[in-house]
Structure 1
Amino acid sequence: MRVLVTGANGYIGRTVVAMLNEAGHEPVAMVRAQGMPIVGAAEVRTADLLDSESMRRVVGDVDAVCHLAAITRARESFAEPMRYFRVNTGGTISLLEAMEAADVPRIVFASTGAIYGTPERQPMDEQVPDAPPHPYASSKLAAELAIEAQARGGHLAAIILRIPNIAGGSDPDLTRLVPRAIAAAADQTALPVNGNGSAVRDYLHIQDAADAFVECLEHLPEAGQAIRYNIGSGHGASVMDIVAAVERVSGRHVELEHRPPAPEPAKLINDPSKAIAEIGWSPRRSDIDGIVRDAWSASVAAL
């Protein structure tokens, strides 16, 4: 299958392109600007989600789309909510319009488990009500609703993946905990920790996340349907669990700088049971030590 991957130059996008190639698909990488080569891409095309003409041009000859292009920083979204809706929701609508014009009927969409907010029920399955806690999650939910509406109109077969924290491999984003903790160990600098570090999150290996896109492409529903799956490890790790894993893997002490507690959920874990049962996907690489070992190796290799 010839598959357009939007956001192909990003952390997840590059891995999705590589895994699609390994699975025998023909990934077409869509980027906003040419940069480093994208391993596994059959072709690299330049376009902007908000430019309708360029979107029609890049979508024209593909069979399906993996839509990963987005802006994703929850805290930043409070300061710039309209930018998040413009890119994440408006960009998705632009893509859907281009797909309809080109008669491209298949999409797998990267959404976020943050849409569930802070429910008492943990792990979170697909029946948990939506309660987006910030503009980023709201913009992703609005994009989901646009995809579902387009599917109900008979124009689309869609799978929506609600994804937790992605980690492992070469992740340059130091707003995320795992690369931040690894950088603290590598540079022997202090790692800021809110409160006692007991907040628990679901960490999914980057390659497990990419595998889910491959499996979804091979298990798309009939046109007229949009199915949502939660993917994740199904278990959680606290901030202190991550720190301990970094110390085990690196053999180095991570100095902590404890800060006042932040208002944040105590625990957020995705329940991937539906995805495991229906599309044959499983989180095979997402034990915490394995994630950290992979990320540490990538960090050392980059030095």
Structure 2
Amino acid sequence: MAILVTGGAGYIGSHIVRAFRLAGLDPVVVDDLSSGHREFVPDDVPLIELNIVRTKKLTEALRDHSIEAVVHLAGFKYAGVSVQRPLHTYQQNVQGTVSLLRAMAEHDIDKIVFSSSAAVYGTPDVDLVTERTATHPESPYGESKLVGEWVIAAQGRATGLRHTSLRYFNVVGSATDELYDSSPHNLFPLVIRALTEGHRPKIFGDDYPTPDGTCVRDYVHVADLADAHVVATQKLLAGQELEPVYNLGSGDGVSVRQIMTAVARATGIDFEPVVAPRRPGDPARIVASGQLAARDLSWTMRHTLDEMVESAWNARHQS
């Protein structure tokens, strides 16, 4: 039974491919390798090098594989950069999703798990985000993810497409040393890169209304996230009903300074981070409940903060 994973050569996508293989399912990857890595895709997993906005080519590519369901991660994922590149963001994320849905309809593929984002919430005014929290995206990236959810839901109402959207927060760590986060914008790779190059990592603001003055965020291990995708896909394949949206959150945030302390423990490097001024738009706290996903998707936090940090550090130093 083949599962199409768009963006399957990326950091999160490649972990999902790995999780499908461990579950006995056969992944097929579509990725244009703009931010993914060819070496992240196992040699025996089909890799279709293609941008999903090319509907005709995508439809032709799907013809050669007996795809039962789709996990859709492909897209432009940098929220900050999306402010400078809104048209590109909308083209890749919204037009890309529409293109994928057209290709799926052409081949009667009627099940999809969508990679959404906590960016749909913007700056929430609650201590714990739930699926009922109002959506107020503050970047073209967040907007495009919310529109993606809407488009998929509309296709579901029109055609019976079975779907669910998983909203991620801060995804970190590694399940294997061969797969790692290479983002130029995410906290973990930025901290690791700074230490590797002999620099002191930065904390942007230490005067927030939080226990230690630094921003509090929701960090989840990429392997736990990947497992939730497998369960969601399996339930759709089994004909079980799922909610339209799930938060994959920890329910308990971690501060940036706590991250720095954990990095020092994992690496054995004794350092004091540089405290820089606040960045505009950084909320003090964003933490989400994962209770709904725990109920339906066997979602649980199986990794400690130290395990998240150690696995991220080991993967970057083995790569």
Q: Please report the TM-score for the alignment, with normalisation by the length of structure 2.
A: 0.89
8 Å contact from structure 1 (residues 160, 227) kept in 2: yes
> Structure 1 residues 254-263 or 80-89, which shifts more?
254-263
2:293 to 247, 261, 275: 275
8 Å contact from structure 2 (residues 235, 241) kept in 1: no
- 1:112 equivalent in structure 2: 117
The alpha carbon displacement at 1:114 in A equals: 1.3
The alpha carbon displacement at 1:173 in A equals: 1.6
Deviations 1:74-128 (A, max 9, x none): 1111111111111101100000011011100000000001111111222211000
8 Å contact from structure 1 (residues 148, 225) kept in 2: no
1:106-145 matches, within 5 Å, as: 106-145=111-150
Write the distance in 2 (CA, Å) between the matches of 1:107 and 1:176: 27
Name the CA shift for 1:300/1:37 in 2 (closer, same or farther; >3 Å).
closer
The alpha carbon displacement at 1:18 in A equals: 0.7
8 Å contact from structure 2 (residues 10, 40) kept in 1: no
Indicate yes or no: 2:19 matched with 1:19. Answer: yes
Indicate yes or no: 2:302 matched with 1:284. Answer: yes
- Work out the number of aligned pairs and report it: 301
Write the distance in 1 (CA, Å) between the matches of 2:23 and 2:246: 21
Name the CA shift for 1:231/1:242 in 2 (closer, same or farther; >3 Å).
same
- 2:256 equivalent in structure 1: 239
Deviations 1:187-219 (A, max 9, x none): 321212211161011111111111111010112
- 2:209 equivalent in structure 1: none
- 1:206 equivalent in structure 2: 222
The alpha carbon displacement at 1:172 in A equals: 1.5
Q: Please report the TM-score for the alignment, with normalisation by the length of structure 1.
A: 0.94
Indicate yes or no: 2:249 matched with 1:229. Answer: no
Instruction: Point out 4+ residue stretches in structure 1 off by more than 4 angstroms.
Output: 221-226
Name the CA shift for 1:48/1:300 in 2 (closer, same or farther; >3 Å).
closer
Deviations 1:112-159 (A, max 9, x none): 011111112222110001111111000110111000000111331001
- 1:45 equivalent in structure 2: 48
8 Å contact from structure 1 (residues 7, 30) kept in 2: yes
> Structure 1 residues 267-276 or 197-206, which shifts more?
197-206
The alpha carbon displacement at 1:223 in A equals: 9.3
8 Å contact from structure 2 (residues 249, 289) kept in 1: yes
- 1:265 equivalent in structure 2: 283
1:3-82 matches, within 5 Å, as: 3-32=3-32, 35-36=38-39, 38-39=41-42, 42-60=45-63, 61-82=66-87
Name the CA shift for 1:41/1:93 in 2 (closer, same or farther; >3 Å).
farther
- 1:251 equivalent in structure 2: 268
2:191 to 177, 181, 197: 181
Write the distance in 2 (CA, Å) between the matches of 1:123 and 1:222: 31
State the SS of the aligned residue for 1:63.
strand
Q: Which runs of 5+ in 2 are unaligned?
A: 175-179, 207-212
8 Å contact from structure 1 (residues 64, 104) kept in 2: yes
Q: Which runs of 5+ in 1 are unaligned?
A: none
Write the distance in 2 (CA, Å) between the matches of 1:224 and 1:19: 22
Residue identity matched to 1:53? K
Q: Could you tell me the percent identity over the aligned residues?
A: 34
Write the distance in 1 (CA, Å) between the matches of 2:171 and 2:242: 27
